Amino acid sequence: MGTVPHMRKYFAIARASFEVVFVYRAGFALNMFGTVLYVVAMFYLWQTIFLGKAGALGAFSWPQMKAYLLVAFLTNSLMTWFDEGDMGRDIRMGRIATDLTRPIDFQAKRFADAIGPLPVELSSALLVGAVVVFAFGGIAAPPDPVHAALFVVSTALATLLKFAIVYCVSMTAFWTTGMVGIRVGRTAIQNLLSGAMIPLAFFPDWLRSVAAVLPFQGLVSTPALTYLGQMDGPTTALMIGVQAVWAVALLFAGRALWRRAIKAVTIHGG
Amino acid sequence: MAARLRSLRRGIYLYFRLLGQEMKSILAYRADFIVLLIAAVLVQLVGLAFIGIIFTRIPNIQGWTFWQVVMMYSLIFITEGVGSLFFEGTWWLSWLIYSGEFDQVMVRPVSPMVQVLASKVGFNGLGNIVTGSLLLVVSLTHVSVNWTPVGLLMVLILLVSGATIRVALNLGTAALSFWIKSPHSNVPMFVHQLGEFGKYPITIYSVGVQAVIVLVIPFAFVSFYPTAYVFDQANWALAGWLTPLVAIYCLVMAATLFRRGMRRYESSGN
């Protein structure tokens, strides 16, 4: 992967994948629309809760909660183009055979595929987010530029981590054709344990301990709490470190799974 | 009259025969089917955990209690399940029209609507129906009312009405494909996703959002109004009685759209 000519290959793949988004723009918009409706419903729900409370809920004020929901929306909107379905289709239709004959790293190719649409995802999420924020009267800003910068780092790591998780899960495609169910199940667990639906601080103790030992909290909770500056300096550094460790560990786990899976593969036609 | 009744009976008989064939083909892939079921149950458990956690922090949402919100959730899930398990075919319609495969549907001596409705089975619906029903029953035990046969009959009528509204929305929006003619019309999915708003009391939304889910895409009659009626008949009697009427209205509109659309169908040729 290291040398520059190699990088160019993957860049070409990423660019092709970026262009594909424009071909399937209706599908992309629809995906986005689902997330938007969800976040709008959440804004109304939490608004009602906070206005009824007349004050803070735990460590959150209403402007902070709005910021939390928005960060959750942003991180959920990134890296959505690549999911378990792609791998399932490629294996079922025998397209995987072509990938095996190419002189490219399989995981790196998938990553290039997944990251191509990122500029579109990011800009549309920021645009939609700005509209929602405007409609609901503004959000809390990060406490200082350092936290803002760390938030960007944490969001980038969250995106890498999401790829690593989805890549690992998608390896099940070598053993089952039920990828829709796998994706829906993974999304459900991820939405709860990442803190996307509700901050982990609100969880009962036992569930919070479960979330703490799993990688999902790095997807939403860590970037959101970094943005808000709700963790002290050492904790912030630790949590971002945990994100990075999970991302790297799962990327390697994905490679190990792939090597095992490839021995089990039977190619139909193609 | 007798002839119409006979053709209706034949239509229902054929619908279940066709659906049965489709079910067999799905059951052939047993692992997929089990994964889908588990995923559907997981989604519901996560949804339940979400409202459960919220209610550990606050006693009610604008006066609506935990069990009332659980009932709204359960109604959304059950009706979604009915749509997937028995009427998944509506999602297939746009493709049938675009590809010209609707020709085959037209030449068979069976009602085209029956064929379309029975052309697919979404087994995830079974998971939704079973867990949704459990949640519904448990939430009903928290209604402070002496259950009479008439009362239970009314719950059943509301449930059937809610399912009818959703299936009618699916069918009606799918029938727009006769005019839109694109391989994957997004209108049904857009409308379907509005169901997100049905999971919470409509009183939390702004007037504009309320107008949409009461008057335009009547999801309020799937979950909110039935729940309000069952828990507080004195204040919500009208909402309860309007629900079946709204269901009939939606069904007639959907059937009309389908028939009108079919009349202007011209094959895309093969």
The CA distance from A180 to A138, in Å, is 37
**Which stretches of chain A sit within 8 Å of chain B by CB?**
26-27, 29-30, 33-34, 37-38, 40-41, 44-45, 47-49, 52-53, 57-58, 176-178, 180-182, 184-185, 188-189, 191-192, 197-198, 202-204, 207
- Please state the rounded mean pLDDT for residues A232-241: 93
Contact A52 B61 (CB under 8 A): yes
Contact B199 A41 (CB under 8 A): yes
User: For the segment A193-224, what is each residue's pLDDT rounded down to a tens digit?
Assistant: 999 999 999 999 999 999 999 999 999 999 99
Contact B31 A176 (CB under 8 A): yes
Q: Which positions ≥6 away from B38 have C-beta within 8 Å?
A: A181, A185, B127
The CA distance from B139 to B134, in Å, is 9
In a domain, A63, yes or no: yes
Structure tokens at A101: 């004959």
In a domain, A270, yes or no: no
The CA distance from B210 to B204, in Å, is 9
The DSSP call for residue A141 is P
pLDDT of B248: 95
Name the domain count of chain A. Answer: 1
Q: How far is B108 from chain A (nearest CA, A)?
A: 31
Q: How far is CA B264 from the centre of its chain?
A: 27
- Please state the rounded mean pLDDT for residues A89-117: 82
Handedness of CA A213, A216, A221, A223 (dihedral sign): positive
Which band of pLDDT confidence, cut at 50, 70 and 90, is reported for residue A1? very low
The CA distance from A79 to A220, in Å, is 13
First vs last C-alpha separation in chain B: 39
The DSSP call for residue A57 is B
Closest CA relative to residue A160, chosen from A105, A94, A226, A78: A78
The CA distance from B146 to A56, in Å, is 40
Structure tokens at A40: 């709008």
Residue of A nearest to B61 (CA): A49
- pTM as predicted: 0.86
List of chain A residues whose C-beta atoms are within 8 Å of the C-beta of residue B45: 188
The interface predicted TM-score of the complex, written ipTM, equals 0.85
Q: What region, left, alpha or beta, does residue B265 occupy, with left being phi > 0 and alpha being psi -120 to 50 degrees?
A: beta
Contact assessment for residue A84 and residue A166, using Cβ atoms and an 8 Å cutoff: yes
More confident residue, A247 or B235: A247
- Please state the rounded mean pLDDT for residues A86-111: 81
The CA distance from B238 to B240, in Å, is 5
pLDDT along chain B (270 residues), means of 10: 82 84 76 83 90 88 91 94 89 83 84 85 86 93 84 92 94 87 73 86 90 91 93 85 94 93 76
List of chain B residues whose C-beta atoms are within 8 Å of the C-beta of residue A202: 53-54, 56-57
List of chain B residues whose C-beta atoms are within 8 Å of the C-beta of residue A176: 31-32, 35
Contact B58 A34 (CB under 8 A): no
User: For the segment A11-69, what is each residue's pLDDT rounded down to a tens digit?
Assistant: 888 888 888 877 777 777 777 777 888 888 889 989 988 887 766 788 889 999 999 99
Contact assessment for residue B68 and residue B227, using Cβ atoms and an 8 Å cutoff: yes
Handedness of CA B195, A128, A47, B210 (dihedral sign): negative
In a domain, A165, yes or no: yes
More confident residue, B167 or A104: B167
pLDDT of A270: 44
In a domain, A269, yes or no: no
| pLDDT value at A269 more than 60 | no
Domain that holds residue A210: 4-264
Contact A182 B62 (CB under 8 A): no
Contact B42 A185 (CB under 8 A): yes
**A-B C-beta contacts closer than 8 Å:** 108
From the number of C-beta atoms within 10 Å of its C-beta (0-12, 13-18, 19+), residue B58 rates as middle
